[in-house]
Amino acid sequence: MPKVGMKELREQQLIDATLESVAQYGLHNTTIVTISRLAGLSSGIISHYFGGKQGLVDATVKHLLSQLKVALLEHTQDRVLTHEQRLIAIIEANFSQTQRSVAATKTWLSFWAQSMHELGLARLQHINNRRLYSNLLHSYRHILDSESAVIAAKQTAAMIDGCWLRSALSPRPEEEFSQALALCKKFIKDLLAYSA
């Protein structure tokens, strides 16, 4: 009889190994063998828990998305925030350490590229885009008129994604991520000051 919690532990081991494999070899060269070797588990367990490599890749992307949600909750839960502070918290969550680690950045970059070719990943990308936009729009609607709020949410989402991407591709990503975080925060402050 399997131990209680063993399934969740093994699944997390495989997700962590997938992140590490993508960081080392890229998504295209990540295989069931590279993942199972890094996880220290048999390759058959991947099929058992995830149905194969693609199922594990999907689960890994969902893990990154859930980490993004957790980061946002850490910045907002049980706190009384102004709408501007909530916008800043959204930015901080998108630039949290979990989202800018080497393993996460390489996986996100591979995921974005592959989502153009795989329906399941495209769906996850659409969910991620909608969630960011919806979170931003919710706060902007309390500060700006309806049309301005839509424009501001789209601009801010583009600013976050663009700055994150440029930072991830930089030869000095840690320095660039810190600057990008500051730039995105300034963007919101300037936008709101201009709109006041």
Report all structural domains of the chain as residue ranges with CATH numbers, in order of start. 57-195 (1.10.357.10)
Q: Which residue has the higher pLDDT, 89 or 3?
A: 89
60 confidence band (pLDDT: 50, 70, 90): very high
pTM higher than the cut 0.85 = yes
The mean pLDDT value for 71-93 works out to 92
CA 133, CA 138: separation in Å to the nearest integer? 9
Amino acid at the residue 172: R
- What sign does the dihedral 172-173-179-180 (CA atoms) show? positive
**DSSP notation for 57-101:** HHHHHHHHHHHHHHHHHHHHTT----HHHHHHHHHHHHTSHHHHS
**Residue 28: its pLDDT value, please?**
87
Asked if pLDDT for residue 49 goes beyond 70, the answer is yes
For residue 34, CA distances in Å to 13, 19, 28, 57, 172 come to 13, 11, 11, 13, 27
Highest mean pLDDT among 93-102, 103-112, 151-160: 151-160
What confidence score (pLDDT) does residue 3 get?
65
pLDDT band at 6, cuts 50/70/90? confident
Tokens found for residue 72? 């946002």
pLDDT band with cut points at 50, 70 and 90 for residue 79: confident
The answer to whether 88 touches 191, Cβ cutoff 8 Å, is no
Mean per-residue pLDDT, 35-45? 93
State the pLDDT at residue 55.
92
Report CA torsion sign: 146, 150, 155, 156.
positive
The pLDDT tens digits for 105-154 are 999 999 888 889 989 889 999 999 999 999 999 999 999 999 999 999 99
Mean pLDDT, residues 58-66: 93
Residue 5: is its pLDDT beyond 60?
Answer: yes
**Among 68, 61, 60, 59, CA closest to 135:** 68
Question: Is residue 163's pLDDT more than 90?
Answer: yes
Q: Label residue 2 by pLDDT band (50, 70, 90).
A: low
